[in-house]
Structure 1
Amino acid sequence: MIATVLLGLALSACNHVSTDAHDIHDVDTCIICNMGIHNVQAATQIVMEDGTAEKFDDIGCLVQFMIENPDLAPTFHTAYANGYDTQEWFDMTEGAFVYHKDIVTPMGNGVISFSTVEAAESYVETYEPGEILLYGELEAHDWNSF
């Protein structure tokens, strides 16, 4: 009986799918622009309900993927960005983003990610002017303004 319970627990543990952010490796490429993801600080990813991840070299590529694939939205678990300030993955719905035409990013769109609104505000106050965007504003952002 105990062996059966332990076997059941072991098998159920095997069915757990991690929806945590995936590591970026040297061989990873952006699904939109096919560029290698070499600047992890600017990288983003969408982890799906099944635990797989679509990886992007730049936040603009992630937004383009979301716009072009609305039918996949129900399979999205979490969109992650790598914090410009922390170098750690965070749920993009909880973060903030700074746009300025002079900010250098892999695709040249000038948008960088921060894990909190306060961190984004601090960046703008300290380094340069910029527009703070929240997650819900990313699709409406003029990605051609760079």
Structure 2
Amino acid sequence: MAERTRLTAVETVREEGSWLFTIEDRHGDREEVILVPCEDDGAEVEAWVNVCPHEAQRLDPGFGATIREGGIVCPRHGSLFEPCTGDCDNGEAAGTTLRPVETVVELGSVYLVDEDARFRHAGGIGSGDGDDGDDDMPGSTSHIGF
């Protein structure tokens, strides 16, 4: 699966504070990933699976991750994750670490290079290419799902 895909510009991640995209693993399972600015050790951005490891809470609900005091905020409990390491040392998620996704930066562009991931689309699951696996299902105007 080692295919190199351009995701976005580093400047876009800095301006927006985070950038959400969807990947697919070798089994066809999809996951959301967030890119966040990182200034440590020369890294410009880091990529993390979009889930707090404490209670499977999405860090970016689809309109940007909350960044406070330089940390990624879990919206459920307010725990802060260090954007360069993924580590959390406070709140309910203390002692946990976000799961990384491998990227590289070259000439101001961010590329997905993770051997176990294939780029599907920008945005979260269900917001991209219309290939969410339920396209053959009829729509419903009711609030009740089947």
Fold shared, TM-score > 0.5 on shorter chain: no
More strand by share: 2
Larger radius of gyration: 1
- Bigger relative contact order, structure 1 or 2, given CA contacts below 8 A and separation 6+? 2
More helix by share: 1
TM class, shorter-chain normalised?
under 0.3
